[in-house]
Structure 1
């Protein structure tokens, strides 16, 4: 019998011979069965070591004669032993291939299944989920963590969402992404640090379908950004390569990898990855002093051993089980025609698509609270978006739309808002570079870059002091960001009002041509 308990040293023992297969066997080339053998008689020190392809008859016959000569054994015994060994190795290789082809999925127990389904049926599901994410160890980032979790959940839909975490170095972009990704089952995600140029094309055709692809730093994946964008947009990528078959004939083959996938990455350089940013939700990390305090307090508690690790593990396990309970189902938004984005949003076509997909992602997550309906024409099962789903989506997405409507990048916007707060606090209208460097602790080169963009976009202006020849700066409009936010908020509320009017009983009667019935006194 073949003993494979040691993956680097298989044992095969018969009455006459003891064989060891050193280094195991390879599963990538089924046309050969090359192994390194160690052959000896039982309880003998005379050992023959030899590399052979068991599918090559000439090599096998030479080995048979060498075994018979070296170990003083009949050739028929040696030949029969090698033939039996070949059959055993073939069968074991097929077992290995089946194990590799079949991903390992965790089977939920009845108790775990009931707990996950009961959680998905609870009211106020998004707030409960956000609280549970916090209990699992994600500190602060209340909106970002829920947004990211819902984006990761959308991998199971036919139109997944994508996100890029942005922020300066060392503020916790990768930490936030990795902590939220821990809430996704291992079998549903692919974590990548560095990729070669052709890496994506050599996955199996359906290996990435409905998977979450996590890129630690986009700087390490520059070579695959183009196929990654195509996989996001077209949901499939194809590469044509030249290949030689077993007869040596050159043929052209197509390597195709199917999507859809959800992609998440981190970077400090927003402008460099603009094409990828256009396809993604941009999540700006909270760099405030309050968030610094929350994180440092968490670190101190962890160091003091005062964190409830078991509660964190329970929250993490429950959210993973919730993900396993979600089934693929079509989502239809009957209110989609009433939803319009504010005119201030850049690239409105793609942003509008993201907005609608995000609403569908919320509905998909609430599938256990929705009645399943059947399309009479196609027989397709679907669930419908509710007015509440749109309200919750608007509350979560307003900051994303605000950033999409801004004419300056995120780092410059954060600096401008800090600058405004400083000016209001000190009750002054103008500032100098030296003053800002000293009080806001900004490097000179960084401040010069911020000022250049703010001057070009018309957010600040240079003015000359009366008494001296030096220059200082002035913020043109201290309330411009609040005004922009109010415009977006008003546009979203207008959409909600339009839906309320369209679905009110009075409007339905008017559309049906029926007079509204008066109540009896």
Structure 2
């Protein structure tokens, strides 16, 4: 039973409520009309009446009024439509609506989950009435007392505004008696309130300085007395101010601790934005629609990679997070791609670093990285200790370290530091093959360095400079995608087809790759959560379409796990083979380093790195020449990468067709 018709209309929008309850509006807190009473009497299987009124005094009065009428109906034996149940078995419960809120306002601010939680926490109306202290008639004495109490509370809350915390290391509080300045911040331990305090006279500016623990009553009384003597003020007023100051500082400290809580939700979009995002997330072919929006946000080309990275990045708020390593040669745009995708995530959950020092990850707060997206713009500059910490945070979702720290007496003692995950991550590198331990823990994504992609980038840059592309449209697409990610909720997923898909056995470290594949499928299901069915336990059910999408997006990454050449090296070798095949006798054709460098438009250092890797892997060999005048090379292993790709693609598609 709701108080207003708009509240009833709001409840009707929640399937989880309408599937269990019948909704009835009372048309006012004290307007339980006869028609509504007759409707309640005639319910054949009535088990419970839940009163969900506004969170004000009128709502409390309405709960009492409606519950009294319902009790009269029960006691009078008027529930004739449900003879199989005794009158006493029909429960009357009430929902504790937060102050100054109603059903509709709660739905707008916090979505349906808030309504479901409040309904689940309902309590019997008798208990509700006693705890909420519903008063209908008051004696003059009680009314006068309430007026005095209201004035005292008003004065008290006016004083709350006097606490100036703009500078956390210099908190000021001013009353009609004196000005109080707290220097150096507040202790984080909740069992003490030790501060450095200046008590300043409002007119003369004279100060009394001390260091005291506001939790020590005797010390506080003593310091108030000495401050009063020096400043020529009343000690009882200073003592009262210090008592109130202690309450304010407690509240400020607790609010600070709550702000640092990693479980705090992302900023909630307004109701129109929520509706727009939900409508978009409920549309068919959602993944391709997201890819189109990513393109409108300013990411040119990289059609598969940008979507792959977006799905990986959006896993930051889920229990099973994903991680990506972007490979590419210098100047290929890998860091630009990483940054553009990171811009599509809610920025309050993104941590971007150019470099991290050896022990910096160990020194974060316990929950600072939990449910965040960590972006490392260049892994090549990280030392082994930093790589190890990052790797362990990916694998174990936690860093544990033993360190030394001084206690309150200045003695060094061993201490345990913990940094908790999970967190998602994206990073970029030019030398993916040297991070053997890391490559098996994350998805490998090779930047598109083809001439076609270069042409797309140049065309985009030209249109942007000519004013043909509006930055406002790109920013609008970014903000919309950020809000869509905010609307995604962590949920459990079951995949009934998990044992039906087998990855190629020749893949590198297939155990971890198979786990990554299943997590990626789960993330696609979570993105489609507004369209997927749920089981009896409320878990999302993966559909065949999710596996098909995962295989299509992940195929290049799966192939890179099978191929012993990394992404940029494979692209170079394929371009080199294409160049040599244009010659008369490609099987025996010899080429020099300068010839390859000029033909493929590469720098000397990049070519040297590629040739050294291919010689080491025995794909090419040195066939002649001299070290001081230039060596000659020859392709010694002509692999058929197209045939291998087709074989793997057919292998996976055959399994999908059999689902």
TM-score, normalised by the number of residues in structure 1:
0.81
Whether the 8 Å contact between 2:593 and 2:631 is mirrored in structure 1 is no
2:544 to 381, 387, 412: 387
Aligned-partner Cα distance in 2 for 1:152–1:316: 14
2:619 to 456, 459, 468: 459
1:415: Cα distance to partner? 1.8
Q: 1:38 to 1:173 in 2, by over 3 A?
A: same
Aligned-partner Cα distance in 1 for 2:454–2:208: 63
1:364 to 523, 526, 541: 526
Whether the 8 Å contact between 1:194 and 1:221 is mirrored in structure 2 is no
Task: Give the match for residue 50 of structure 1.
Answer: 209
Task: Give the match for residue 445 of structure 2.
Answer: 283
Report matched runs for 1:243-262 at 5 Å. 254-262=416-424
- 1:167 lines up with 2:167 in the alignment: no
1:125: Cα distance to partner? 1.6
Report matched runs for 1:261-276 at 5 Å. 261-276=423-438
Task: Give the match for residue 519 of structure 1.
Answer: none
What's the secondary structure of 1:328's corresponding residue? coil
Aligned-partner Cα distance in 2 for 1:428–1:34: 85
Task: Give the match for residue 127 of structure 1.
Answer: 288
Report matched runs for 1:54-69 at 5 Å. 54-55=213-214, 64=224, 67-68=227-228
1:51: Cα distance to partner? 5.4
Task: Give the match for residue 457 of structure 2.
Answer: 295
1:411 to 558, 564, 568: 568
Gaps of 5+ in 1: 375-379, 501-521
- 1:423 lines up with 2:585 in the alignment: no
1:345: Cα distance to partner? 1.6
What's the secondary structure of 1:146's corresponding residue? helix
Aligned-partner Cα distance in 1 for 2:241–2:615: 83
Aligned-partner Cα distance in 2 for 1:325–1:478: 50
What's the secondary structure of 2:432's corresponding residue? coil
1:27: Cα distance to partner? 5.1
Q: 1:464 to 1:271 in 2, by over 3 A?
A: closer
Aligned-partner Cα distance in 1 for 2:232–2:316: 64
Task: Give the match for residue 253 of structure 2.
Answer: 93
2:277 to 91, 116, 119: 116
Length, aligned pairs only: 489
Aligned-partner Cα distance in 1 for 2:256–2:367: 19
Report matched runs for 1:143-182 at 5 Å. 143-182=304-343
Q: Deviations over 1:251-278 (max 9, x none)?
A: 8765444433322222223233221121
Structure possessing the higher relative contact order (Cα contacts under 8 Å, 6 or more residues apart): 1
Gaps of 5+ in 2: 1-158
Task: Give the match for residue 179 of structure 2.
Answer: 18
Q: Deviations over 1:328-379 (max 9, x none)?
A: 33333333333222233222222222223222222222222222122xxxxx
Task: Give the match for residue 488 of structure 1.
Answer: 648
1:241: Cα distance to partner? 5.2
What's the secondary structure of 1:489's corresponding residue? helix
Q: Point out the structure with max Rg over C-alpha.
A: 2
Task: Give the match for residue 228 of structure 1.
Answer: 390
Aligned-partner Cα distance in 1 for 2:650–2:195: 71
What's the secondary structure of 1:239's corresponding residue? strand
Q: 1:39 to 1:257 in 2, by over 3 A?
A: closer
Select between 314-323 and 48-57 the one with higher mean Cα deviation.
48-57
Whether the 8 Å contact between 2:268 and 2:486 is mirrored in structure 1 is no
Aligned-partner Cα distance in 2 for 1:385–1:85: 55
Aligned-partner Cα distance in 2 for 1:182–1:11: 38
Whether the 8 Å contact between 2:266 and 2:486 is mirrored in structure 1 is no
Q: Deviations over 1:303-334 (max 9, x none)?
A: 44442233222222222222222233333333
Whether the 8 Å contact between 1:140 and 1:294 is mirrored in structure 2 is yes
Whether the 8 Å contact between 2:187 and 2:194 is mirrored in structure 1 is no
TM-score, normalised by the number of residues in structure 2:
0.66
Q: Deviations over 1:461-512 (max 9, x none)?
A: 34459xxx99633324555221221221222123224x25xxxxxxxxxxxx
